[in-house]
Structure 1
Amino acid sequence: MTVTPEGEARPKRKRMPRAEREHQMIETAEAVFAELGYATASMDEIAERVGVSKPMLYEYFHSKEGLLLACIRHSRAELRSVTEHAVTGAGDAEEAIRRGLHAYFVFIREHRQAWSLLRQEMTLLGTSAADEIEATRQQQTDLIAALMSGYFASSPRLQVEASAEFVVGACERMAIWCERHEEVTPELATDYAMDMVWNGLRHRAGA
């Protein structure tokens, strides 16, 4: 408790746990980067929106690029989590792939700010952030390749890897297309993607 000049007791403000504060900073930074673009966004703007000092932002992330890297890693971890959860318990290859695609398109729709960061790759070439974006893409490729390997055991490893690369690249472009067509729901996007992807894979699953 502190005492005001008028002699009134004032409750001491509870300090936010570090992990919670860091999460708040990352979410706010995602919004600012998405709204203004990485080059234009400033640490002053982010600090003001969070309600902390700029030195505190630097204490947590060291630099604006460090904060961007934290945002991308946070998004990558969330995307991995929702994808893995979606495919758990799938009955067959078709269901697993459909579930994984749907989880991806739902993530893009519900995490527009995070997705916006991943689309800024061309403006970040030559930076650590571009490497982190590619790591996100590689994460999804590896997840899909592992999933396919489980269902298409007879397929050569290189063919499985090539198929996974194709799925990730195609879905990334389709997600960009979906931004221009708000009427395309995650369910419809999944149907469109499955129409192309599954027709090329079903023979390997004996469908």
Structure 2
Amino acid sequence: MNVEQAAGNSATNGRRKRLPRAEREQQILAVAEQVFATNSYQATSMDDIAHRVGLSKPMLYEYFGSKEGLLVACVERARRELLDATTEAAAGAAGDSAQLLHDCLLAFFRFSDDHAQSWALLRNEAAIPVATVNTELEATREQQTELTARLLEASRPELDQVRLEAFAESIIGACERLAMWREKRPEITAEHATQHLMALISPSLMPQA
């Protein structure tokens, strides 16, 4: 059963039983994420989302205030999911700091596979001229950069903060480009992408004499 079918069933049941607000919000976000990722922000209307969720448009505005507010909430949720995936990988990894970084990179690429709609939302909405959305997108990059910098610091404690930040920013940029490249090269698995990137950055993880 896909998201839209589930939302339709919930809407039917909702006539008999009112959903808690938090559960309803998650239902709306799931449908909106799918629609935004498929149709783009500009081509999506609040009427369309309201219809698919089974709510009136005024009720949708009551929850999120505007289409922009709904998109921001979708991006925020995708950002939390990405952070959860990468920090869980770091917490569960065994071995040295290079292995930790490897596992976090692998988690990022698997996230783009397993959460295709979330990834499409994070990637495709970068061109939207909406300040709050761009702020959320940049916050996503910053959270991943901070996590990467901490892992790099464990490998190279002698590096100064500026060099750590520069390395981390470069790795996150490379992750985004590789994830986009993989869309044109479906034979490249998450594991392959991780191996390619680790081959590039591994020399920088070795302490300098």
TM-score (norm 2): 0.88
C-alpha separation between the residues in 2 aligned to 1:115 and 1:35?
A: 12
- The aligned amino acid for 1:154 is E
Q: Give the alignment of 1:156-167 within 5 angstroms.
A: 156-167=160-171
Q: State the Cα deviation string for residues 145-184 of structure 1 (Å, max 9, x = none).
A: 1222233212111111111001000110000001111111
- The aligned amino acid for 2:31 is T
Name the structure with the higher helix share.
2
CA contact (8 A) 1:93 1:205 kept: no
Tell me the residue number matched to 1:173: 177
SS at match of 2:41: coil
For residue 199 of structure 1, the aligned residue among 180, 195, 203 is 203
For residue 27 of structure 1, the aligned residue among 23, 27, 30 is 30
- 1:57 matched to 2:64: no
CA contact (8 A) 2:72 2:133 kept: yes
User: CA 1:133/1:122 → structure 2, altered by over 3 Å: closer, same or farther?
Assistant: closer
C-alpha separation between the residues in 1 aligned to 2:125 and 2:71?
A: 12
CA contact (8 A) 1:106 1:186 kept: yes
CA shift, 1:121, in A, is 4.0
Tell me the residue number matched to 2:72: 69
C-alpha separation between the residues in 2 aligned to 1:123 and 1:158?
A: 28
- The aligned amino acid for 1:41 is T
Identify which range, 163-172 or 52-61, moves more after superposition: 52-61
Tell me the residue number matched to 1:100: 104
C-alpha separation between the residues in 2 aligned to 1:32 and 1:61?
A: 16
For residue 13 of structure 1, the aligned residue among 13, 16, 20 is 16
CA shift, 1:120, in A, is 2.5
Tell me the residue number matched to 1:79: 82
C-alpha separation between the residues in 1 aligned to 2:16 and 2:67?
A: 28
CA shift, 1:122, in A, is 4.4
Tell me the residue number matched to 1:120: 124
C-alpha separation between the residues in 2 aligned to 1:68 and 1:121?
A: 9
Question: Unaligned 5+ residue runs, structure 1?
Answer: 1-11
Question: Unaligned 5+ residue runs, structure 2?
Answer: 1-14
Structure 1 stretches of 4+ moved >6 Å: none
Identify which range, 12-21 or 55-64, moves more after superposition: 12-21
CA contact (8 A) 1:145 1:164 kept: yes
Q: Sequence identity, in percent? A: 46
- 1:133 matched to 2:137: yes
For residue 109 of structure 1, the aligned residue among 110, 113, 124 is 113
CA contact (8 A) 1:44 1:54 kept: yes
CA shift, 1:125, in A, is 2.9
User: CA 1:126/1:64 → structure 2, altered by over 3 Å: closer, same or farther?
Assistant: closer
Alignment length, in residue pairs? 194
CA contact (8 A) 1:151 1:205 kept: no
TM-score (norm 1): 0.88
| Structure showing greater Rg | 1
